[in-house]
Amino acid sequence: MQYTRLGKTGLKVSRIAFGCSSYGSTDWMPWALPESEALPFYKQALDAGINFFDNADSYSTGLAETIQGNAFEKIGVRRDEVVLGTKVFGPMGKDVNQRGLNRKHIKHAIDDSLRRLKTDYVDLYQIHRLDPTTPPEEIMEALHEVVTSGKALYIGASSMYAWQFAKLQTIAEKNGWTKFVSMQNRYNLLYREEEREMIPLCIDQGVGVIPYSPLARGLLTGSRRRGTKRSEVVKDFARPEDEAVVDRVLQVAEARGESPAKVALAWLLTRPGLTAPIVGATKVNHIDDAVAALDIRLSDEEIRLLEEPYVAQPPQFGRETVPSHNAATAEAFRAALGHDTTVF
């Protein structure tokens, strides 16, 4: 395993982050694995040298955090040997204040996350989305209070315009509050709009980039996953022009004798400013491929081939499809955002 600093902090994280959203209830995701099946993947990740784990309170409405806390307890993980990240924003109940980024919700959400994770602090506490219904000053002061209380060491953000991120950072700096050290954004060969402004901003400011969906929910593996549970939920995720990008991934993979997943991850790992892609796992090869991608060195020509077919698209912040069977969760997320953008 390779390790690097998270942004300009002194915190060392594995270059592959382990995503925990795949574990929990099938009411959350039809393919979600229960605790008994999740445990081996946590052990496999730890054995591979992965020390960076990313979760969120809204994953299975807290169940994913509970599973992680139980898994670490059963495995016997030393708290000082792992870097735990979780997120706040999504609806955690029916009450109007059980969602978003107001001070009240953040105060309760961090305590609930710590209880479920069975720890007294998280290393990285992230806002899952930007809440337009709460003043930015309130958001940043509430997050600062989480840090000063010792319940989080660092804070991070996710999925927003670069100008919004810069505004929040400026507010924190002006008031002497804690600033974000990381940006968790969607970034892969099928979605590269973050290269325009957000990633250059992060590089300039020393903010670590920890992208989610590095394989575009499996599309970059070359499979449309038709006829599977996942295909029933993830619909119209790919644009017609994305087929050409996937074809190039398959072309480079075949020429190398590697899996498409390794090639797509290897490309992402070459990108400037990138700290660690967040990789989920429901099969043994998912972690194996992610770790193996660290040793793949793509040539300039291979990188050109992979990047050439990309067609620009409008910025998307959390526009992945919500599970159609979970209309209440979808509506709650839309309400928290304050507009009709669909959110995963």
Rounded to an integer, the average pLDDT of 147-167 is 98
Q: At what angle do helices 35-47 and 63-75 cross, to 10 degrees?
A: 60
- pLDDT, tens digit, 9 for 90 and up, residues 75-116: 999 999 999 999 999 999 999 999 999 999 999 999 999 999
Residue 216, domain member (yes or no):
yes
DSSP 291: H
Active-site annotation holder among 42, 59, 191, 310: 59
Cβ(243)–Cβ(251) under 8 Å? no
Residue 343, domain member (yes or no):
no
- Say what the pLDDT of residue 317 is: 77
Residue 98, domain member (yes or no):
yes
Tokens 């990309």 correspond to 310
Residue 195, domain member (yes or no):
yes
- pLDDT, tens digit, 9 for 90 and up, residues 167-225: 999 999 999 999 999 999 999 999 999 999 999 999 999 999 999 999 998 999 987 64
Residue 342, domain member (yes or no):
no
Determine which of 120-124, 129-133, 165-169, 317-321 has the lowest per-residue pLDDT on average. Answer: 317-321
52-54/17-19 β-pairing: parallel
Cβ(68)–Cβ(55) under 8 Å? yes
Residue 324, domain member (yes or no):
yes
Determine which of 167-181, 285-299, 328-342 has the lowest per-residue pLDDT on average. Answer: 328-342
Active site residue 212: no
Among residues 187, 176, 184, 236, the alpha carbon closest in space to that of 210 is found at: 184
CATH of the domain at 8: 3.20.20.100
Residue 47, domain member (yes or no):
yes
Backbone φ and ψ for 155, nearest 5 degrees, come out as: -125, 150
Average pLDDT, the chain: 90
Residue 127 amino acid letter = I
Residue 300, domain member (yes or no):
yes
Domain total of the chain: 1
- Say what the pLDDT of residue 202 is: 98
Rounded to an integer, the average pLDDT of 260-280 is 97
Rounded to an integer, the average pLDDT of 234-244 is 73
Residue 339 has pLDDT above 60, yes or no: no
CB proximity list for 259: less than 8 A, separation 6 or greater: 221, 253, 285, 289
- Say what the pLDDT of residue 44 is: 97
Rounded to an integer, the average pLDDT of 332-341 is 45
Domain encompassing residue 221: 3-337
Residue 340 has pLDDT above 90, yes or no: no
Rounded to an integer, the average pLDDT of 298-312 is 97
- Say what the pLDDT of residue 205 is: 97
Please state, in angstroms and as integers, the Cα–Cα distance from residue 273 to each residue in 135, 153, 215, following that order: 29, 21, 18
Q: Is 98 exposed, middle or buried (0-12, 13-18, 19+ CB in 10 A)?
A: middle
- Say what the pLDDT of residue 304 is: 98
- pLDDT, tens digit, 9 for 90 and up, residues 41-52: 999 999 999 999
Q: Which pair of tokens denotes residue 188?
A: 């892969």
- Binning pLDDT at 50, 70 and 90, where does residue 238 land? low
Q: Return d(Cα 82, Cα 67) in angstroms, integer.
A: 16
CB proximity list for 230: less than 8 A, separation 6 or greater: 30, 31, 217, 218
CB proximity list for 282: less than 8 A, separation 6 or greater: 22, 31, 33, 41
Cβ(311)–Cβ(192) under 8 Å? no
